[in-house]
Amino acid sequence: MLMKKHFTACLVVAGVVAGCAAPAPRLQTASGNPEIVIPNVSKKQVIEKIVAAKLEKGMQVRSVTDYGVVVAKKVDNSFMASFLYGSRYDSTPEARIHYNVVQSGSGVKVFSRTEMVTNPGGGFERTSDVTSSIGTQMQAELEELKASLER
């Protein structure tokens, strides 16, 4: 009986939280996700700038290719991240940012996607796309990247 009441209370709380959650605003970009176009630069310059900026912020570079960069950092100081994305095997999730870099007619186009990873590096790794919830922050970061390369 106590188990049934506890389960019902959890369902009610989850319903209230889900009902109160407002959807993240859609960015005013072509894809609705963080993206920029940087004129008069090469893909190599953009990739090198992204890598340097992320290393300065204490992130690890997971991969670098001709078409993008993947960086990551453990999220070990957030109770909410551990609660939502941690697991019993590894309670510390990892934030990963994917930067896709494409040469286009008007310059270099950079797209960004962010995900939280449960059990990073393990056999049971699970990813959750969180781009929409921090899209405005990522867009501001891309605008800062563009400004630094235009100087």
Q: 26 and 35 in contact (C-beta within 8 Å)?
A: no
Q: CB neighbours (10 Å) of residue 124?
A: 9
- Report the pLDDT averaged over residues 123-138: 83
pLDDT band at 77 (very low <50, low <70, confident <90, very high): low
Dihedral, CA atoms, 78, 87, 134, 103, nearest 10 degrees? 120
Q: Are the beta carbons of 72 and 94 closer than 8 angstroms?
A: yes
Which residues, in sequence order, are CB contacts of 99 under 8 Å at separation 6+?
A: 47, 50, 68, 69, 70, 71, 110, 111, 112
Q: Which fold has domain 29-150?
A: Alpha-D-Glucose-1,6-Bisphosphate; Chain A, domain 4 (3.30.530)
pLDDT above 60: residue 138: yes
DSSP 125: -
pTM beyond cutoff 0.85: no
With helix as H, strand as E and coil as C, how does 57-107 read? CCCEEEEEECCEEEEEEECCCCHHHHHHHCCCCCCCCEEEEEEEEEEECCE
The label of the residue with tokens 């209230």 reads: 16
- Using DSSP's 3-state secondary structure scheme, residue 128 falls into strand
Least confident of 7-11, 33-37, 87-91: 7-11
Provide the residue ranges of all domains of the chain, joining segments of one domain with +. 29-150
* pLDDT value at 79 more than 80: no
Is pLDDT of 56 > 60? yes
